[in-house]
Structures are given as structure tokens and as C-alpha cells.
Amino acid sequence: METSVYNQKGENIGKIALPESIFGVKWNSDLVHQVVTSMQSSARRGTAHTKTRGEVRGGGKKPWKQKGTGQARHGSTRSPIWVGGGVAHGPRTDKNYDRKINKKMKTKALFAILSRKLKDDGIVFVDDLTLKEPKTKLAIASLVTLGKVPALKNILNTNNALSIYVPERTDDLVRAFRNVANVTLEDTRSMNPVSLLSYKKVVMVYPEESLRILGSKLGVAKEETSSKTLKKVMPVKEKKTVKKVAKAKAK
């Protein structure tokens, strides 16, 4: 699998080979939906808080007697159906919105989105992104020249237009791009399904280094699996050694 690489002027300068394990993953809408909704739920701050009828001050006295007034029966003025009363089933700060996501699920969803975006011509690889000065004017000028790429034509005129990923953000790049509307600058290592789906186009700078970082996400899962296997095997060996020592002492 190959794709074109462009320079900062929007010129095609060659091809780069893409790994099938990252950009050839089959689309799985159920997995992507589960991962994205779980991440959004975990990011929820949960600061909204309402009081129940037991927490609202006052309301201890019965507003009127039970019978004989011709009105509906009430036991407290802090009932949820009263103005100034408590709230029924309102948001509470003691609710936990965190949802667990397995790393393998998150990684597979990330690669499925990358594969889909590449298929839909939504990813552009750029060999370099440097500015003479950390100025927004120069950042916009570089985006205008990148607009020569067919996939990025008129990109600045759309909402949530572009997400730029670099192996490591520098202070100059951050200062230059932070005031450009509808454009974000992120580290490749922090790439996640939610951020990918939030923008229509993705620009990956320094493709070889970016692909190495993405490939390391697959290596993490393998290392964790091997370490878990070792933890299961070690105690069995120790038990056998203990039994041998005990038999030797008995003789």
C-alpha cells in the first residue's frame, strides 16, 4: 500500500509505503461507536449538581391539613412538583461517568478510522513543516500553499477543517497555529479516535517518524501480553522448586 507525499509547497515529491496493519484495517462501526462514546463519557466532568427534596432547606411543615380544604394533599413545600422544591432525577456529582476501554479496542478503532480516512482521501502526508517565525500570518500562508494538494482544496473555508499531527510539537509551531480557526496542532502520540473524527482532514508531518510512533501502539499490546504470560508461568516454577527442596530435606 502506497500513497503520495507532499512538500510544504503542496508539490508531490514521491511515494511512501504504508503498513497494512494500520491503514488496511476493516471498518467496524460498532467498535468505533463504543470506543468514541466511552471516551466522551470519561471526559465528562460531571460538575452539574441538583438537590433532592431532602436536601432543600425548609419544607418541614405540612402546608395545610390533609382534608377539608378542597385542595390536593401535600406533605411538604419542597416536593419536586412545587416551585422552589427539590429536583427529581437531576444530575448529581456523585455519579461516575468513567467507562473502561481496553487498549486493544482503542488501538483497533484508531486504525479503523485511519484506514477509512485514507480510503476517503482524508489524510495527507507532508514531509516537513517549518516556519521562519512563530507568526499566525506565516502559518496561514503555509496552509494556503498546502491547499494546492487536491485533498486540501479550499480547506480553510470549512468548519472543523484540519488537524495537523507532528511527532513532537514545538513552542514556535504551537504559537503560530493556535489562532488559526478550525485548525489544531497535536502530537502524533496523542492521536485518538475522538480527535480524528472531529476533523474532516488530517495532515501527518514527517511521515516516517509518525508511522513509527503509530506502529509502537501495536508493540505495547504485544509486550503486555508477554508480561502477563510470564507472571502466570513463574509461580508454577517456584512451586516445583520448593517441592524438590522439601523432598531432598526429607531424605
Are 199 and 128 contained in the same domain?
A: yes
Are 20 and 107 contained in the same domain?
A: yes
Are 148 and 35 contained in the same domain?
A: yes
**Average pLDDT value for residue range 120-134:** 90
Are 110 and 188 contained in the same domain?
A: yes
Judge contact between 151 and 118, C-beta under 8 A.
no
Are 110 and 153 contained in the same domain?
A: yes
pLDDT of 72 > 80? The answer is: yes
Q: What is the CATH number of the domain that holds 162?
A: 3.40.1370.10
Are 15 and 138 contained in the same domain?
A: yes
Q: How far apart are CA 134 and CA 132, in angstroms?
A: 7
Q: Which of 24-33, 157-166, 177-186, 212-221 has the highest mean pLDDT?
A: 24-33
Domain assignment present for residue 28? The answer is: yes
Are 32 and 128 contained in the same domain?
A: yes
* Total Cβ atoms within 10 A of residue 113: 25
The domain total for the chain is 2
Domain assignment present for residue 189? The answer is: yes
Rounded mean pLDDT of the chain?
A: 85
- pTM of the model as a whole: 0.74
Are 92 and 170 contained in the same domain?
A: no
Between 36-50, 145-159, 161-175, the lowest mean confidence (pLDDT) is in: 145-159
**Per-residue confidence at 234, pLDDT binned at 50, 70, 90?**
very low
Are 64 and 114 contained in the same domain?
A: no
Domain assignment present for residue 168? The answer is: yes
Domain assignment present for residue 238? The answer is: no
What pLDDT digit, counting tens, does each position of 176-222 carry?
999 888 889 999 999 999 999 998 899 999 999 999 999 988 764 44
- Give me the pLDDT at residue 109, please: 95
**Per-residue confidence at 31, pLDDT binned at 50, 70, 90?**
very high
Domain that holds residue 58: 51-96
Domain assignment present for residue 233? The answer is: no
Domain assignment present for residue 35? The answer is: yes
Q: Please give the helix or strand (H or E) that residue 186 lies within, else none.
A: strand 183-187
Are 122 and 187 contained in the same domain?
A: yes
- Give me the pLDDT at residue 237, please: 42
What pLDDT digit, counting tens, does each position of 140-152 carry?
999 989 888 888 8
Domain assignment present for residue 118? The answer is: yes
pLDDT of 23 > 60? The answer is: yes
Which residues partner with 183 through β-bridges?
A: 162
Are 180 and 58 contained in the same domain?
A: no
Q: How far apart are CA 110 and CA 9, in angstroms?
A: 29
Q: Which amino acid is at 225?
A: T
pLDDT of 137 > 80? The answer is: yes
Domain assignment present for residue 241? The answer is: no
- Give me the pLDDT at residue 94, please: 87
Domain end marker among 96, 123, 157: 96
H-state helical runs in the chain = 20-23, 29-42, 103-119, 136-146, 171-177, 193-197, 207-250
Q: How far apart are CA 131 and CA 136, in angstroms?
A: 10
**Per-residue confidence at 246, pLDDT binned at 50, 70, 90?**
low
Are 34 and 142 contained in the same domain?
A: yes
